[in-house]
């Protein structure tokens, strides 16, 4: 998944980015609202982590404008304010969840997973397709009951496909989902990861099909 973190504390931002990277997520960091708006204008994010007190404005104005534009990207607010009225106000503005600082990273990861499941309409963690089962919470893939080990980037690529079976993803779209602005991959990297993922899916009822001139899609074989 690709996240946007809007946070002016470099120390906290570095810690959050490092923790989410370990979980395989791509994270872009904006230290102010101006940078954040530049990012959301050019990139589709799966989740936004939003601080309230920023050097060039209030994060609540970002949240309000984001929702008024009918943007559906879920937002978790990071706030130092613990008063009930503040939390209620954030939810009323359109926040999907909030966390009070100081942040517990295990809780942050759990809240991210919960928000993303709600966004996808998943009541359970397990996604099944043919003889393939994917536990989005544990990040485990099983084929015919046998666990298949996926490396981090392979796991995140598979997550993109399994959440939208039949949808065609171009190479550029997959680059956008798997790599941050700090990285500079070529589209050939996507071919490598797709090739690896195809080998992992051998023996399943599911395959990644190349759609000439358009990209790739996941479908039952």
**For residue range 45-75, what is the model confidence (pLDDT) as tens digits?**
989 999 999 999 999 999 999 888 877 899 9
Last residue of a domain, which of 90, 119, 148? 119
* Domain carrying residue 110: 2-119
Q: How confident is the model at residue 16 (pLDDT cuts 50, 70, 90)?
A: very high
Q: How confident is the model at residue 82 (pLDDT cuts 50, 70, 90)?
A: low
Query: Does residue 102 have a cis peptide bond before it, meaning omega lies within 30 degrees of 0?
Result: yes
Same-domain pairing of 160 and 182: yes
Res 123: pLDDT: 44
Regarding predicted confidence, which is higher, 215 or 137?
215
Q: Phi/psi of residue 71, each to 5°?
A: -75, 130
- CATH code for the domain in which residue 160 is found: 1.10.10.10
What does pTM read for this prediction?
0.73
Q: What is residue 45's DSSP assignment? A: -
Same-domain pairing of 93 and 132: no
Q: How many domains is the chain built from?
A: 2
Q: What is the pLDDT of residues 102-158, one digit of tens each?
A: 999 989 988 898 888 777 655 456 788 889 998 876 778 999 989 998 888 888 899
Same-domain pairing of 176 and 90: no
Q: What is the pLDDT of residues 170-189, one digit of tens each?
A: 999 898 888 888 787 888 89
Cβ neighbours of residue 107 under 8 Å, at least 6 residues apart? 99
- Through-space distance between the first and last CA atoms of the chain, rounded to whole angstroms: 26
Res 124: pLDDT: 53
Same-domain pairing of 22 and 110: yes
Asked whether residue 168 carries a pLDDT value surpassing 70, the answer given is: yes
Same-domain pairing of 146 and 201: yes
Radius of gyration over every alpha carbon of the chain, rounded to an integer in angstroms = 18
Last residue of a domain, which of 96, 119, 142? 119
> Could you tell me the two tokens for 6?
């809007």
Q: For CA atoms 140, 194, 121, 13, give the dihedral sign.
A: positive
Same-domain pairing of 101 and 134: no
CA 96 to chain CA mean position, Å: 14
């Amino acid at each position: 998944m690709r996240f946007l973190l809007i946070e002016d504390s470099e120390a906290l931002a570095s810690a959050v980015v490092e923790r989410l990277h370990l979980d395989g997520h791509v994270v872009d960091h904006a230290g102010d609202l101006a940078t954040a708006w530049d990012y959301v204008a050019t990139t589709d994010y799966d989740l936004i982590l939003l601080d309230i007190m920023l050097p060039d404005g209030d994060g609540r104005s970002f949240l309000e404008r984001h929702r008024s534009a009918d943007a559906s990207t879920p937002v978790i607010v990071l706030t130092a304010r613990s008063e009930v009225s503040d939390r209620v106000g954030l939810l009323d503005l359109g926040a999907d969840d909030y966390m009070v600082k100081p942040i517990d990273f295990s809780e942050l990861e759990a809240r991210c997973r919960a928000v993303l499941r709600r966004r996808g309409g998943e009541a359970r963690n397990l996604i099944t397709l043919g003889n393939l089962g994917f536990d989005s919470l544990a990040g485990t893939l099983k084929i015919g009951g046998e666990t298949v080990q996926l490396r981090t980037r392979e796991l995140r690529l598979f997550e993109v496909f399994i959440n939208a079976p039949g949808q065609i993803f171009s190479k550029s779209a997959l680059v956008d989902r798997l790599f941050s602005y700090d990285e500079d991959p070529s589209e050939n990297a996507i071919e490598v990861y797709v090739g690896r993922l195809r080998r992992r899916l051998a023996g399943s009822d599911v395959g990644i099909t190349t759609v000439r001139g358009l990209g790739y899609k996941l479908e039952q074989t």
